[in-house]
Amino acid sequence: MRVFKCQLFNCSKHVPIYKLTNMKKLIGILLLPVLAMGQKNESRLLDQYMQAQASVKQFSGTVLVIRHDHVLLKAAYGLADREWNVANTVQTKFRIGSITKQFTAACILQLVEQGKLNLDDRLSKFIPGFPKGDSVSIDMLLNHTSGIPSYTSQPDFGKYSRLSLSKDSMISYFKNRPYDFPPGTKFQYDNSGYFLLGYIIEKVSGESYESYLRGHILDVLGMKNTGADRLDSILPWRARGYTRNHQQFFNAPYISMDWPFSAGELYSTVEDLYTWDRSLYGNRVLTAASREKMFRPGKGNYGYGVFIDSVEKHFRISHGGSIPGFVSKIDRYVNDDICIIILSNDEAATDFISLALADILFGIPVEVAYQHKEVKIDPALLDRYVGKYSAFLTVEVIKKDGKLYRHRTGTPDIELKPESETKFFYADESDRQLQFEVDATGHVTRIWFINSGQKGEMKKVE
């Protein structure tokens, strides 16, 4: 064995080229069944997970999971139109909400490459008289550090969200409101900043935002199923958006698509978004220098239109989107060459679903959705679970009237119903559970928070 290793790793000295070539072919042939079996098994697990999400949790949308250009899962679930009983397909077009911001950031970086913009340019250059405009740079707008208040977070936004207004009028809606913090000092997600970036793109390019995006990115990449969503246009394969209260569905509230603009107005398909993913590995849209700027994490681990972090030590570039009736997610595990895209028209928990799909690929156990049934347990057991538990959030488990509840300040308590002596599910039908591990003396050793099958360990802090 040791001799074989020596020959293999020093083959340029000891093995003729034709033998090395044949050896590589032989190794490749021997590995092919193993790789195919692994991919087949992963595809089966991914499909089982999503089928359960659809049948148990009523997930509606499309999902695409690809690694090394090999499709592991491409499927559609649920209905694109519930009133006409029209099924979703992988060609169905969904509003993608804030995933739009990636495209807006790319347009800005292209204009920088063309010498028409600088990242240090100030907002006052494009909108004279904007409060503190001399202190806000293009860079700050891109990475959410400008401090300009987000229009979608304003208490009275609901009064205006259905109105179609001019861009100047919409900017006037938020520009005179107090800054959330001094420009450049903090990170706070800000739709106003990306609205302003779209305005700047139009002013600098001399084209509408949609026209520039189509001419310089969408048409270049052949993304024929992506564009600005307009309700007055006929759009084949358009999905309708829904909200739901538990298992009851409702048509999503109307919002004028003038408001999302360059912060969230696009529609797309999973296949088109994978084309976008592929482009970010090459130079068809952006130069290497521009991509480096886009993917450089700043405050809040945010780059330009993307979040940069890691999952189970796997480097990730990602973004989600949410707009009434629709939720979207694109996760790019760059070093693993994995792309997971989820588009939903029922406001599903795409963040957790995407994490669960990634866990399957990383060999981490994931729970498949099932119907939770309450069982009777000894009430005396409940006392040992009372306490505070923390990981990415802090959850307090309290007991009142002989029942357990999840308690968080500022939100209503949610009953935790037992499905075993150690596992409890949230009574709000959110597919969340708390699973306790106890030792022989009945003391809690650790707790698992489970959301849409994705598990995270929490520590007891009190």
The CATH code of the domain that includes 440 is 2.40.128
pLDDT of residue 15: 30
For residue 423, what are the contacts with CB-CB under 8 A and spacing of at least 6?
A: 433, 434, 435, 436
Nearest residue to 74 via CA among 364, 351, 342, 363: 342
315: phi > 0 → left, psi -120 to 50 → alpha, else beta; which?
A: beta
The length of the chain is 462
Handedness of CA 273, 45, 33, 75 (dihedral sign): negative
Q: Are residues 342 and 384 in the same domain?
A: no
What is the CA 363 to chain-centroid distance, rounded? 21
Q: Average of pLDDT values for 34-59?
A: 82
Q: Are residues 100 and 173 in the same domain?
A: yes
Name the DSSP letter for residue 178.
P
Residue 266 forms beta bridges with which residues?
228
Residue 451 forms beta bridges with which residues?
432, 454
Residue 388 forms beta bridges with which residues?
396
- What are residue 207's phi and psi, to 5 degrees? -120, 165
Is the model's pLDDT at 445 over the cut of 90?
A: no
Residue with tokens 């999302």: 260
Is 139 a domain residue?
A: yes
pLDDT of residue 25: 38
pLDDT of residue 39: 62
Provide the domain count of the chain.
2
Q: Average of pLDDT values for 161-183?
A: 94
Let me know: does 62 contact 90? Beta carbons within 8 Å.
yes
Q: Which amino acid is at 459?
A: K
Q: Average of pLDDT values for 40-62?
A: 93
Q: Distance (Å, rounded) from C-alpha 338 to C-alpha 68?
A: 7
Q: Distance (Å, rounded) from C-alpha 417 to C-alpha 87?
A: 34
Q: Average of pLDDT values for 161-181?
A: 94
Q: Are residues 323 and 384 in the same domain?
A: no
Q: Are residues 152 and 97 in the same domain?
A: yes
pLDDT of residue 459: 84
Is the model's pLDDT at 22 over the cut of 60?
A: no
For the chain, the distance separating the N- and C-terminal CA atoms, rounded to the nearest angstrom, is 55
pLDDT above 70 covers a percentage of the chain that reads 91
Is the model's pLDDT at 8 over the cut of 70?
A: no
Q: Are residues 338 and 407 in the same domain?
A: no
Let me know: does 90 contact 269? Beta carbons within 8 Å.
yes
Let me know: does 65 contact 72? Beta carbons within 8 Å.
yes
pLDDT of residue 38: 56
Let me know: does 206 contact 167? Beta carbons within 8 Å.
no
pLDDT of residue 134: 96
pLDDT of residue 431: 82
Strand 454-460 versus strand 444-451 pairing type: antiparallel
Is 149 a domain residue?
A: yes
Whole-number average pLDDT of the chain: 89
Pick the most confident of 4-8, 189-193, 377-381, 433-437.
Answer: 189-193
The DSSP string of 333-387 is EGGGTEEEEEEESS---HHHHHHHHHHHHTT---PPP---------GGGGGGG-E
Q: Are residues 350 and 442 in the same domain?
A: no
Q: Are residues 122 and 256 in the same domain?
A: yes
Q: Distance (Å, rounded) from C-alpha 344 to C-alpha 325?
A: 8
Position with higher pLDDT, 115 vs 389: 115
CATH number at residue 270: 3.40.710.10
Let me know: does 298 contact 187? Beta carbons within 8 Å.
yes
Q: Are residues 171 and 283 in the same domain?
A: yes
- Residue 453's pLDDT band (boundaries 50, 70, 90)? confident
Name the DSSP letter for residue 76.
E
Query: pLDDT tens for residues 386-398?
Result: 998 887 778 899 9
Is the model's pLDDT at 170 over the cut of 60?
A: yes
CB atoms within 10 A of CB 413: 14
Position with higher pLDDT, 18 vs 28: 28
Is 37 a domain residue?
A: no
CB atoms within 10 A of CB 251: 13
Which domain covers residue 118, as residue numbers? 76-86+88-361
Q: Are residues 447 and 318 in the same domain?
A: no
Q: Are residues 433 and 319 in the same domain?
A: no
Q: Average of pLDDT values for 84-105?
A: 97
Name the DSSP letter for residue 431.
-
Residue with tokens 């995270």: 456
Let me know: does 325 contact 252? Beta carbons within 8 Å.
yes
Q: Are residues 331 and 439 in the same domain?
A: no
pLDDT of residue 452: 77
- Residue 18's pLDDT band (boundaries 50, 70, 90)? very low
Residue 315 forms beta bridges with which residues?
310
Report, in this order, helix, strand and coil percent for the chain, each rounded to 5: 35, 25, 40
- Could you tell me the pTM of the whole model? 0.84
Q: Distance (Å, rounded) from C-alpha 332 to C-alpha 316?
A: 6
In three-state secondary structure terms, 453 is coil
In three-state secondary structure terms, 366 is coil
Is 57 a domain residue?
A: no
Handedness of CA 202, 207, 209, 212 (dihedral sign): negative
Query: pLDDT tens for residues 193-234?
Result: 999 999 999 999 999 999 999 999 999 999 999 999 988 889
